[in-house]
C-alpha cells in the first residue's frame, strides 16, 4: 500500500499562512480573507488565477458604485487583492503597478476643548474611565492602550513605553502624575485576577513573533500580562489556546460614545479624538511641534502639522467683519 498524496492547501489557507509569515495582525488577516472571499464570490467562484486587471477593476467599481464604500475601504480591498496575487499566487504583473488607489479625502481631526474633555472624562468611570484618561494623558492610540502590558508602565520614570506601534515602531510617552494612584490600584486588582487565572491553569498570555518559544516562561509571568484584560476567556483563532486576551476595544468605544452624548457634545468624538485633543492642547500650551511629533510617533512632521488648524480661534485667526460693526 502506498501513502496517499496529501491534497494541496486551499487558497484561503495559503493566504493565511503568507499573512502570518509576515507577522500581520489578526485583524489584518481577517480583513484580507474577507475581501478575497468577496472577490471570488463576485466573480461566481472563479479562481483568481484566471482573473486579472479587468476583474479586479470591476470588483472595485462595484464596491464604490453599488456598495458606496469609503475610499479607505476600497483601498483596503485593493491591498488585499494585490497581496493575494503577489504573495500567494506569485504573480507580479504589469497591471498591478497601474492599479490606481482611490483618493482619500483630507479631513481635519475632531478636537475637543479642555472643558469638553473634562466633561467627557467626568462621565467615564472604572476601567473605561482610566483608559480614556490614558488616551488623553499620553496621546496613545486606542489599540496601543488596549494592548498595553504591565512591564511597559514605568512609575519611577513617569513614562509609558509603547511597543510595536503603528509602522511597527516603539516610542516613549509620558505617564501623567494624576494617574499614578488609580493605575496602581487597578494593577493590584489585576494581579489578583492574574493569580486566580494561574490557579486555574489559564494564566498564560499571547506573545507575538514566537517570543513564547524563545522565553518559555514569559507567557505566565506578571510583567507580560495585559493591563486591561478581557472579562472572560476566549480561544485564540490561530493557536486554539483558551486564555484571557486583552479587552475588546469596542467596549471603550461604546463607553466613550455614551459619555459624549450624556455631556451634550455634538461633535462626533471617539476615543481617537482624545489623542487629537492631546496633541492640539500641547501645541496650545507652547510645546514645539517636533516634541509632539515624537510623542505621537509620527514619521513625518507634516502629519503633526494638521493639529495647528485649531491654534487660532475662528477661521485662520481672522476676525469677521460682522464683529466690527
Cα–Cα dist 245/55, whole Å? 39
Cα–Cα dist 134/293, whole Å? 18
Any catalytic annotation for residue 272? yes
Any catalytic annotation for residue 298? yes
User: Residue 313 gets which letter from DSSP?
Assistant: S
Cell of 79: 491591498
Any catalytic annotation for residue 275? yes
Q: Give the 3-state secondary structure of residue 69.
A: coil
Q: What is the total residue count of the chain? A: 325
Cα–Cα dist 139/294, whole Å? 11
Which residues are CB-neighbours of 71 under 8 A, at least 6 positions away?
A: 102, 103, 104, 105
User: Residue 150 gets which letter from DSSP?
Assistant: G
User: Residue 164 gets which letter from DSSP?
Assistant: S
166, 186, 202, 257: the active-site residue? 166
32, 85, 226, 307: the active-site residue? 307
246, 275, 276, 281: the active-site residue? 275
Cα–Cα dist 110/100, whole Å? 29
Query: CB–CB of 186/128 below 8 Å?
Result: no
141, 147, 149, 246: the active-site residue? 141
37, 151, 202, 272: the active-site residue? 272
Any catalytic annotation for residue 43? no
Q: Give the 3-state secondary structure of residue 231.
A: strand
Q: Active-site residues: which are they? A: 141, 166, 272, 275, 298, 307
Amino acid at each position: 500500500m502506498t501513502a496517499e498524496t496529501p491534497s494541496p492547501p486551499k487558497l484561503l489557507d495559503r493566504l493565511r499562512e503568507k499573512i502570518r509569515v509576515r507577522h500581520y495582525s489578526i485583524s489584518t488577516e481577517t480583513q484580507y480573507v474577507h475581501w478575497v472571499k468577496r472577490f471570488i464570490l463576485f466573480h461566481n467562484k472563479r479562481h483568481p488565477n484566471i482573473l486579472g486587471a479587468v476583474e479586479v477593476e470591476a470588483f472595485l467599481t462595484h464596491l464604490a458604485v453599488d456598495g458606496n464604500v469609503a475610499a479607505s475601504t476600497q483601498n483596503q480591498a485593493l491591498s488585499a487583492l494585490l497581496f493575494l496575487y503577489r504573495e500567494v499566487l506569485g504573480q507580479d504583473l504589469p497591471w498591478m503597478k497601474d492599479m490606481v488607489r482611490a483618493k482619500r479625502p483630507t479631513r481635519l481631526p475632531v478636537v475637543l476643548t479642555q472643558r469638553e474633555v473634562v466633561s467627557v472624562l467626568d462621565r467615564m468611570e472604572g476601567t473605561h474611565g482610566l483608559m480614556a484618561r490614558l488616551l488623553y494623558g499620553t496621546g496613545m492610540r486606542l489599540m496601543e492602550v488596549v494592548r498595553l502590558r504591565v512591564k511597559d508602565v514605568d512609575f519611577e520614570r513617569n513614562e509609558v513605553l509603547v511597543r510595536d506601534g503603528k509602522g511597527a515602531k516603539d516610542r516613549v510617552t509620558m505617564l501623567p502624575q494624576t494617574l499614578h494612584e488609580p493605575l496602581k490600584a487597578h494593577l493590584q486588582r489585576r494581579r489578583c485576577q492574574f493569580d486566580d487565572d494561574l490557579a486555574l491553569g489559564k494564566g498564560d498570555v499571547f506573545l507575538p513573533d514566537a517570543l513564547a518559544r524563545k522565553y518559555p516562561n514569559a507567557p505566565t509571568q506578571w510583567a507580560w500580562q495585559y493591563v486591561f484584560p478581557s472579562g472572560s476567556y476566549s480561544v485564540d483563532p490561530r493557536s486554539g489556546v483558551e486564555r484571557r486576551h486583552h479587552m475588546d476595544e469596542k467596549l471603550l468605544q461604546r463607553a466613550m460614545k455614551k459619555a459624549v452624548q450624556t455631556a451634550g457634545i455634538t461633535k462626533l468624538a471617539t476615543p481617537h479624538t482624545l489623542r487629537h485633543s492631546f496633541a492640539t492642547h500641547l501645541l496650545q500650551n507652547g510645546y514645539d511641534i517636533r516634541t509632539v511629533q515624537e510623542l505621537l510617533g509620527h514619521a513625518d512632521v507634516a502629519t503633526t502639522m494638521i493639529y495647528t488648524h485649531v491654534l487660532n480661534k475662528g477661521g485662520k485667526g481672522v476676525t469677521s467683519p460682522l464683529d466690527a460693526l
